[in-house]
Chain A
Amino acid sequence: MKYMLIFAGEHEGGEEKMAEVMAGVDTWWGKYSHSGAIVGGERLQPPSRATTVRLGGAAPTIVDGPFAETKESIGGFAIVDVPDLDAALEMVKSWPGSPAVEIRPVWED
């Protein structure tokens, strides 16, 4: 079963704290890549560098910023392939990065 883990929100604290968090993320990512659970994923640049294109109107409009202004912005994602939701939850409980993670099942047909 494939899920997308969506990492959201930012850590508080200075550079030192940030380095510590990144080191933890590297270890975590290494562990689950090695086990075969992580099949893809990336860290994203901040939403201030995002561009959104709205296609609902007569012509596409281009807007500076993310598609939704939320308190918890998306900082990265991983695609994981694990037996079930409990296995995904188990992984996510030890995630050392962002303060929130959404687990979204991927359509598989």
Chain B
Amino acid sequence: MGGATEAVLGEVFREEAGRVTASLMRRYGNFELAEDCTQEACVEALRSWPVRGIPTRPGAWLRRVAERRALDRLRRDQRFAAKVRVMPFPAPESGDDRLRLMFACCHPALSRDAQVALTLRTVAGLTTAQIASAFLISEASVAQRITRAKRKIVDAAIPFRMPAAADLEDRVAEVLAVLYLMFNEGYLASRWEVAHDSSLAEDATWLAGLVVHVLPTQAELLGLLALFKFQLARVRARFAADGSLVLLADQDRSLWDQEGIREASELLEQAATLDRPGPYQFQAAIASCHALAESWSATDWPLMVRLYDRLLQVQPSPVVRLNRAVALWHVAGAEVALSETDDLVPDLQRYHLLHSTRAELLRELGREDEAQAAWAQALALTLNPAERRHIRARAARI
């Protein structure tokens, strides 16, 4: 099958698979049955559509095939049928079925790995093979992870409904953590062979948009979607023609997607009106500060430092402190910034960006030997080819 057809199918599955699973789920009240039959329908589509063409209403086609599979299975397996009948789910409430599906997949009783795999497979319609290649793990372990999680949803009776109002914020936070992880895996790509494949980041953004559609007044959710959109707006400028990484400071800002930046800014403003600040909104505000600056040197660094201070209050992590040190460099100079990073060495010993940041600072202070040692450490700590090329180039430019 050609890559183009595959891309179209991917799009259709992303749009429809979650809906089909959710509707089977509502009818039969059994997660495993709903998920298996939707997958079987997708597999049949992969066989049939490239030959016969994509049906005019692909969603209806998938639903029909999945329904037929479910009925076949219930007829074949009486014991299973009995179990399905005794597990009636409440009638649909307001809101999108797929969101309920997402809350079930991101239930805190499942491990984070299982939440991510299950959400990608069930809600975003990715195949086991796609998930495996995105996270650089074997297909067998993804399949096992998904099977175990599905069994737990069914056997431990994890519900398929909107969380109680008192739990909503916690449960949304759970979904946000899954989406954030998904996005970063796609955007930063620790996998070394495809440094600039952003499809996982686009999936995460699509899913976040889905949740925002149903829950438009969760401030952190709006903040997260804004953050994703600010990042994606810059995606075209992040890599040079030869695949090497272009740092924010050197990016051609005319390549940035202004429409995307405008959408992201609106989301962030909308979040701010809700007056519930949180870490995702601060991260989005920091991204916005970059996105709206005309050039690297025109960036509002004092504001940046203040935003990092706010972020540190709610999320005191060494990585955030490292980023703050970079902003501080432009406000207070390399000496001050370097002494800030000294404290971070024990925590971030294995983080290549600590060493490359220190290398830049040391170079500016004229301590070239120490800078070279720091570049070497940075190089030893990353496999991403674009980052490796970048580090080598910086180290060589004495």
Q: Which residues of A contact B (CB under 8 A)?
A: 1, 83-86, 89-90, 103, 105
Once the chains bind, are B158 and A84 in contact (CB under 8 Å)?
A: yes
Indicate whether B7 reaches chain A with its CB closer than 8 angstroms: no
Once the chains bind, are A105 and B164 in contact (CB under 8 Å)?
A: no
Chain A interface mostly: mixed
Question: Smallest distance from the beta carbon of A85 to chain B beta carbons, Å?
Answer: 5
Once the chains bind, are B158 and A90 in contact (CB under 8 Å)?
A: no
Interface residues of B in 69-118 (CB under 8 A from A): 107, 109
Total A-B residue contacts, Cβ distance less than 8 Å: 23
Can you identify 5 A-B contacts, CB atoms within 8 angstroms? A83-B157, A86-B159, A90-B164, A103-B156, A105-B155
Closest to B83 in A: A109
Answer whether A85 and B109 are a contact pair too, CB < 8 Å, given A1-B157, A105-B155, A105-B157.
Answer: yes
Interface residues of B in 128-182 (CB under 8 A from A): 155-159, 163-164, 167
Once the chains bind, are A105 and B156 in contact (CB under 8 Å)?
A: yes
Once the chains bind, are A86 and B156 in contact (CB under 8 Å)?
A: no
Determine the chain B residues whose CB is within 8 A of the CB of A103 once the complex forms. 156
Once the chains bind, are B159 and A84 in contact (CB under 8 Å)?
A: yes
Once the chains bind, are A86 and B155 in contact (CB under 8 Å)?
A: no
Question: Smallest distance from the beta carbon of A51 to chain B beta carbons, Å?
Answer: 31
Determine the chain A residues whose CB is within 8 A of the CB of B167 once the complex forms. 86
Determine the chain B residues whose CB is within 8 A of the CB of A85 once the complex forms. 107, 109, 156-159
Determine the chain B residues whose CB is within 8 A of the CB of A83 once the complex forms. 157, 159
Determine the chain A residues whose CB is within 8 A of the CB of B155 once the complex forms. 105
Closest to B153 in A: A85
Of the candidates B109, B156, B158, B164, the one having the most CB atoms from chain A within 10 angstroms of its own CB is B156
